[in-house]
């Protein structure tokens, strides 16, 4: 069953927003790779002490790795978790999978799309042609082969997958919960339709008139249970046009994670997540106004933009 | 113009030569060599390619520079329009994607690739996962595979761990035969499977049985180099030839597209200094698609 959320003012603080996530929930984390991941919200979920979470998604990085490093994930249905060629494998994710702390149930982007669409459509499954003959059939005994009754084609049925919560960070939203995601939406629009509820952080809460003037919402309010204005809420991933990917901070994260679970806890998880009183405290710890100013310098042109990513900055 | 090209530039050019004009082509994330190959093809022999960028799903973007990660607004600047994840993968499922590029930490003799886990019966090492590779390896018309880590050095016990293996521990992306040796054709997938494999040691195609076959060598590699680094009996084409290298103009184009040298990170450290002499061509921007 899928609810609709109709109340007129959904604005809450970050901690109250995070309280929508319960132990054991299946989460669809928004954004992807180094872009628009709801990092402030995930840090608040970790601080709230949530446990045994399950995660599903397409291509992710520091978001899922951080949850794994905090020891709050029990199962992963992600298609990819890593730092691409920039830094390589995701150290916490890898350790958690190899130790057995995280049950590995890897998926694949279109399989996830079909499973989320089945949930969004309100049907129990959808077919794919692909996947047959690969290792995923053995990893997922719940996928069932079928001959199409109309054409005789060989298909594989994948069951509907309804996330308990979709966590989305958008550029703009209004107090009613309408969201405007600018740039690549990744799987966020689909996750919003599929999940039982959306909880959202946004860079700016604006009036509905202003939202319309910006080009309008692409996630309608009735999917959204609660919303919080959290500036730099995607840091250290990018949330253009406000700020670019913080590569030096990600390098710091990666080095800590690579050095081992204990080093990671002491040198990253404690100072940047657990010991932060709130998001404002986090922003101070990452360099405050100077960091914000550096990351918004991409607007000054291709040369300034490139300099954010120069090798010396990682 | 004369001078040299790097190994990376030679690989980019070779990858570009697998792209036919007038087709819809997609690259995944984390693959700067392939991104650059598609932009070279678009600017030379394949102006009508529909270029879909990995991660942003922008169409025919003109990025001001290549970024170190794939989902960055720099990479969809100038895009004509953009897709979301449903539209992109529906294009694959409905048979509209002409070519996709895939890699693997293991690639076997049938062109299967593994980016999921090392360890056949249990998980020894968790790999990052394949993104959409599994679905697309079945659905997309043709696949070009690539790897920058074909070379296998013996460890201190003289044992080698291969990138090109007899059999993958796990099949993430489907090649020409399944783990139980069923032929791809029996499965009724839309796509025809891997057509090329570009490595830092050579260029391969697939013989009529669907087995990898060495087709070309770099100026500094030999059949023995390739055989020693390959975990199965090497099949060599009758018409084995030297790899065609890019013109100086195309080398300059690649350098302008990637001023930060992001693609160099994809190469193994010992390969980053490899250079090959390039010579002027009568039509420097004319690129022939490989047959």
Q: What 3-state DSSP class applies to A250?
A: helix
Q: How confident is the model at residue A94 (pLDDT cuts 50, 70, 90)?
A: very high
The confidence score (pLDDT) of residue A313 equals 60
In the prediction, which pLDDT does B47 show?
98
> What local confidence, expressed as pLDDT, does residue B158 receive?
86
Predicted TM-score (pTM) above 0.90: yes
Average pLDDT value for residue range B176-199: 96
Q: Do A184 and B55 meet the contact criterion of CB atoms below 8 Å apart?
A: yes
Q: What is the mean pLDDT of residues A60-85?
A: 98
pLDDT of residue B83: 94
Is A215 among the domain residues? yes
Distances (CA, A) of B150 to A137, B226, B238: 28, 8, 22
CATH number of this structure's domain B99-241, picked from the four choices 1.10.1580.10, 3.20.20.70, 3.40.50.300, 3.40.1080.10? 3.40.1080.10
In this structure, are A21 and A146 located in the same domain?
no
The confidence band for B278, taking pLDDT boundaries of 50, 70 and 90, is very high
Which residue among B131, B172, B190 sits closest to A109, beta carbon to beta carbon? B131
Task: Using a CB–CB cutoff of 8 Å, tell me whether B135 touches chain A.
Answer: yes
A161-to-A54, A164, A193, B118 alpha-carbon distances in Å = 12, 10, 12, 27
For residue A213, is it within any domain?
yes
Are the CB atoms for B194 and B206 separated by under 8 Å?
yes
Considering the domain architecture, whether residues A77 and A209 belong to the same structural domain is answered as: yes
Rounded Cα distance, B61 and B81, in Å? 9
Tell me whether residue A260 is in a domain.
Answer: no
Choose the final residue of a domain: A193, A220, A246: A246
CA atoms within 13 A on the CB side of A199: 27
- A255 belongs to a structural domain: no
| Mean pLDDT to the nearest integer, A243-257 | 98
- Residue range B130-175, pLDDT digits in tens: 999 999 999 999 999 999 999 998 888 888 899 999 999 999 999 9
Owning domain of residue A133: 126-159
In chain B, residues with a C-beta closer than 8 Å to the C-beta of A109 are 85, 89, 131-132, 135
- Please report whether residue A26 resides in a domain: yes
β partners of residue A193? none
A33 and A76 part of one domain: yes
pLDDT at B264: 96
| B52: confidence class by pLDDT, cuts 50, 70, 90 | very high
The whole-angstrom separation of Cα A288 and Cα B84 is: 34
pLDDT tens for each residue of A191-235: 999 999 999 999 999 999 999 999 999 999 999 999 999 999 999
The domain total for chain A is 2
pLDDT tens track for A162-171: 999 999 999 9
Average pLDDT over residues A155-177: 98
Last residue of a domain, one of A186, A218, A246: A246
User: A173 and A225 share a domain?
Assistant: yes
CA B9, B11, B17, B22 torsion-angle sign: negative
Residues in chain B: 291
Q: Average pLDDT of B259-287?
A: 95
B243-262: pLDDT as tens digits: 999 999 999 999 999 999 99
Q: Do B29 and A128 touch (CB under 8 A)?
A: no
Q: Which residues of chain A does B125 touch, with a Cβ-Cβ cutoff of 8 Å?
A: 94, 98
Residue A314: predicted pLDDT: 59
Whether A1 has a pLDDT exceeding 70, the answer reads no
pLDDT averaged over chain B?
96
Asked whether the predicted pLDDT for residue A61 surpasses 60, the reply is yes
What pLDDT, in 10s, does the model give residues B203-230?
Answer: 999 999 999 999 999 999 999 999 999 9
* CATH number for A216: 3.40.1080.10
Determine the pLDDT at residue A253: 98
- Which residue, among A61, A109, A156, would best test binding to B if mutated, counting the most B CBs under 10 Å from its CB? A109
The verdict on A103 touching B (C-beta cutoff 8 Å) is no
Q: Is the ipTM of this structure higher than 0.90? A: yes
Mean pLDDT of A297-312: 92
Q: Does A242 touch chain B (CB under 8 A)?
A: no
- Selected for mutation to probe chain B from A134, A156, A301 (highest B CB count within 10 Å) is A134
Name the DSSP letter for residue B266: G
Which is nearest to B103 in space by CA: B84, B75, B128?
A: B128
Contact between A190 and B85 using a beta-carbon 8 Å cutoff: yes
On whether both A143 and A172 belong to a single domain, the answer is no
- pLDDT for position A78: 97
B178 in contact with A, Cβ within 8 Å: yes
Q: Is the confidence at residue A311, as pLDDT, over 90?
A: no
Three-state helix/strand/coil letters over A20-42? CCCCCCEEEECCECCECCCHHHH
What stretch(es) of chain B map to CATH 3.40.1080.10? Answer: 99-241
- Please tell me if residue B132 touches chain A, with a CB cutoff of 8 Å: yes
Which tokens sit at A138? 């053995």
For residues A96 and A53, give the distance between their C-alpha atoms in angstroms, rounded to a whole number. 13
Residues B64-82: what's their mean pLDDT? 96
């Amino acid at each position: 069953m899928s609810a609709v959320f109709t109340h007129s003012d959904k604005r809450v603080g970050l901690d109250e927003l995070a309280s929508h996530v319960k132990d054991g929930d299946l989460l669809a984390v928004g954004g992807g790779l180094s872009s628009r991941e709801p990092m402030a919200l995930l840090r608040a979920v970790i601080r709230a002490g949530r446990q045994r979470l399950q995660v599903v998604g397409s291509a992710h990085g520091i978001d899922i790795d951080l949850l794994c490093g905090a020891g709050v994930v029990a199962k992963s249905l992600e298609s990819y978790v890593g730092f691409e060629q920039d830094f390589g494998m995701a150290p916490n994710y890898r350790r958690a999978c190899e130790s057995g702390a995280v049950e590995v149930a890897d998926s694949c982007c279109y399989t996830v799309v079909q499973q989320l669409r089945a949930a969004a459509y309100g049907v129990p499954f959808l077919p794919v042609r692909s996947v047959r003959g690969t290792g995923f059939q053995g990893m997922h005994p719940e996928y069932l082969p079928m001959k199409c009754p109309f054409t005789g084609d060989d298909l594989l049925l994948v069951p509907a997958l309804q996330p308990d919560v979709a966590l989305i960070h958008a550029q703009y939203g209004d107090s009613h919960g309408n969201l405007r995601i600018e740039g690549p939406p990744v799987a966020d629009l689909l996750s919003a339709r599929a999940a039982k509820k959306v909880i959202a952080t946004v860079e700016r809460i604006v009036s509905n008139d202003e939202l319309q003037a910006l080009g309008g919402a692409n996630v309608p309010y009735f999917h959204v249970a609660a919303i919080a204005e959290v500036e730099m809420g995607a840091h250290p991933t990018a949330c253009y046009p406000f700020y670019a990917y913080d590569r030096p901070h990600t390098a710091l994260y990666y080095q800590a994670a690579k050095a081992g679970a204990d080093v990671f806890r002491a040198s990253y998880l404690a100072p940047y997540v657990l010991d932060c009183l709130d998001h404002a405290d986090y922003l101070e710890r990452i360099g405050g106004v100077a960091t914000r100013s550096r990351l918004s310098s991409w607007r000054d042109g291709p040369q300034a933009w490139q300099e954010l990513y120069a090798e010396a900055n990682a | 113009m004369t001078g040299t090209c790097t190994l990376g530039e030679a690989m980019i050019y070779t990858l570009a030569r697998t792209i036919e004009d007038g087709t819809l082509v997609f690259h995944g994330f984390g693959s700067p060599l392939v991104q650059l190959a598609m932009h070279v093809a678009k600017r030379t022999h394949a102006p009508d390619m529909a270029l879909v960028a990995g991660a942003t799903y922008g169409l025919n973007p003109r990025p001001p520079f290549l970024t170190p990660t794939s989902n960055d607004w720099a990479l969809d600047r100038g895009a004509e329009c953009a897709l979301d994840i449903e539209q992109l993968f529906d294009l694959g499922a409905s048979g509209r994607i002409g070519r996709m590029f895939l890699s693997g930490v293991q690639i076997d003799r049938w062109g299967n690739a593994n980016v999921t886990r090392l360890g056949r019966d249990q998980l020894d090492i968790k790999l990052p996962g394949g993104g959409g590779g599994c679905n697309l390896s079945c659905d997309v018309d043709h696949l070009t595979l690539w790897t920058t880590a074909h070379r296998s050095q013996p460890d201190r016990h003289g044992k080698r761990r291969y990138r090109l293996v007899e059999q993958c521990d796990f099949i993430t992306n489907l090649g020409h035969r399944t783990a139980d040796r069923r032929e791809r054709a029996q499965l009724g997938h839309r796509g025809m499977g891997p057509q090329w494999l570009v490595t830092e040691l050579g260029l391969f195609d697939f013989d009529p049985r669907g087995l990898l076959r060495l087709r070309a060598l770099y100026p500094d590699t030999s059949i023995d180099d390739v055989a020693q680094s390959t975990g199965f009996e090497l099949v060599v084409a009758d018409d084995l030839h030297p790899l065609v290298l890019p013109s100086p103009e195309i080398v300059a184009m690649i350098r302008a597209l990637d001023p930060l040298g992001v693609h160099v990170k994809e190469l193994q450290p010992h390969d980053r200094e490899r250079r090959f002499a390039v010579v002027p061509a009568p039509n420097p921007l004319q690129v022939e698609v490989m047959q």
